[in-house]
Amino acid sequence: MNPGGVRIGTPAITTRGMNEKDMDFVAQYLTRVSEICIESQIKGGKNLKQFLQVVENDPNVAKLAKEVQEFSTQFYIPGVEEMFFDKEYKIDKKI
């Protein structure tokens, strides 16, 4: 299965307090994720295990994850306690 697109729900984004300008950042992040995945597929092949090995060792993934975390924590998430944002976020490499 090779998915061909991503659907983003604007109600979820606006509920968090994001606006059109913020959506530009979200679109840029999605574009960068796609570029990283395409490059990883070229390096590791279409086999999921090989692909994950390449992705897990790509410094661009950690860099992008940090940027997304810094961007997204600016916005409130309905139903999530405020204290969540005071904890250090750890990326779980298991998929």
* pLDDT (tens digit per residue) in 10-28: 888 888 889 989 999 999 9
Rounded mean pLDDT of 60-89? 78
Would 16 be classed as within a structural domain? no
Residue 94: predicted pLDDT:
45
- With a cut of 80, say whether residue 82 has pLDDT above it: no
Number of domains into which the chain is organized: 1
Would 51 be classed as within a structural domain? yes
Domain, as residue range, for 61? 44-76
Would 36 be classed as within a structural domain? no
Q: For residues 64-80, b (16+ Cβ closer than 10 Å) or e, as one string?
A: beeebeeebeeeeeeee
Would 63 be classed as within a structural domain? yes
- With a cut of 70, say whether residue 92 has pLDDT above it: no
Residue 26: predicted pLDDT:
92
Rounded mean pLDDT of 20-46? 92
Would 15 be classed as within a structural domain? no
Residue 38: predicted pLDDT:
93
Query: Tokens representing 8?
Result: 């983003």
Query: Tokens representing 35?
Result: 């570029």
Would 68 be classed as within a structural domain? yes
